[in-house]
Amino acid sequence: MPNDMNDIVVVDDNPVLVNVLSAIFKEYGYNVRTASDGFEALTVIRERAPDILISDLNMSDMSGFELLSVVRRRFPAMASLR
């Protein structure tokens, strides 16, 4: 069961993987939002910062490493461990 950290953003350019991960987390009661690339993820995060960010590291346009670097700068509260 999820604890107080129940909002997850899943980022991957493989739609099958996004759907599978989303279904698994939703089955366990998590609120899941998805993005197909780093730029879309930034838009989703800007709307509401998630408790957990799960990202593919090897994506075109913006890699997961680049996404995490931007997230750390723009959303410093997300970078801290609870």
HEC letters along the chain: CCCCCCEEEEECCCHHHHHHHHHHHHHCCCEEEEECCHHHHHHHHHHCCCCEEEECCCCCCCCHHHHHHHHHHHCHHHHCCC
- One digit per residue, the tens of pLDDT, for the chain of length 82 reads 456 778 999 999 999 999 999 999 999 999 999 999 999 999 999 999 999 999 999 998 899 999 999 999 999 888 654 4
Whose tokens are 């910062």? That residue is 49
Instruction: Let me know if residue 81 belongs to a domain.
Output: no
Instruction: Let me know if residue 69 belongs to a domain.
Output: yes
Which CATH number do you get for residue 54?
A: 3.40.50.2300
pLDDT attached to residue 33: 98
Instruction: Let me know if residue 35 belongs to a domain.
Output: yes
Instruction: Let me know if residue 15 belongs to a domain.
Output: yes
Instruction: Let me know if residue 55 belongs to a domain.
Output: yes
pLDDT attached to residue 82: 46
Domain carrying residue 72: 7-76
What is the DSSP pairing of strand 52-55 with strand 31-35? unpaired
pLDDT attached to residue 80: 56
pLDDT attached to residue 5: 77
